[in-house]
Amino acid sequence: MRVRVLAIVMLVSACAPVTTAPSASTPSASASPTPMEPFLPNETPVALASPSPMVETPAPYVAPPPDDPRLTPTVKVSPGVFPILTTYRTKLAVVDEGVVNLARWGVERYLSSIDSYRNGQSPVLPITGPFLVAVSAALKESATSGVQRKFEIESLSIDHHVQKPWGTHAYVDVTVSLVDRAVDGNAPDQRETGKLRLSGDKLFVTDGWDYDHDRWFNGFGPLPLDQVRSGVTDAVSQYLWFESWLPNTPEPSWTLEGSPYQRARTSRLSAVDRRQVTSQLFENLNATIERFETIDGLWSGVATVRVGGNAVTTYAGGNTVVTKLDRHVRVFLLGNWMPEVVDEQLPFRDWASGGDLALGEIDVNRA
In contact, 306 and 327? CB cutoff 8 Å: yes
For the chain, the structural domain boundaries read 2-18+90-216, 45-88+223-362
CA atoms within 13 A on the CB side of 224: 13
**Spatial separation of the C-alpha atoms in residues 92 and 101, rounded to whole Å:** 18
* pLDDT per residue as tens digits for the range 315-335: 999 999 999 999 999 999 999
Say yes or no to pLDDT of 3 above 60.
no
- pTM of the shown model: 0.81
More confident residue, 251 or 108: 108
**Spatial separation of the C-alpha atoms in residues 15 and 8, rounded to whole Å:** 13
pLDDT of res. 66 = 60
Task: List the helix and strand counts (H, then E) for the chain.
Answer: 6, 13
More confident residue, 47 or 289: 289
The SS3 assignment for 315 reads strand
Q: For residue 97, what is the enclosing H or E element?
A: helix 97-118
CA distances from 55 to 47, 63, 94, 349 (A): 22, 19, 70, 39
What DSSP string runs through 324-364? EEEEEEEEEESSSS--EEEEEE-TT---TTTT---HHHHSS
**Spatial separation of the C-alpha atoms in residues 103 and 201, rounded to whole Å:** 11
> CB neighbours of 82 closer than 8 A, spacing ≥ 6?
288, 289, 290, 291, 292, 303
More confident residue, 151 or 66: 151
Say yes or no to pLDDT of 143 above 60.
yes
pLDDT of res. 17 = 36
Say yes or no to pLDDT of 192 above 60.
yes
In contact, 276 and 314? CB cutoff 8 Å: no
pLDDT band at 34 (very low <50, low <70, confident <90, very high): very low
**Spatial separation of the C-alpha atoms in residues 333 and 230, rounded to whole Å:** 10
For domain 2-18+90-216, is the CATH number 3.10.450? yes
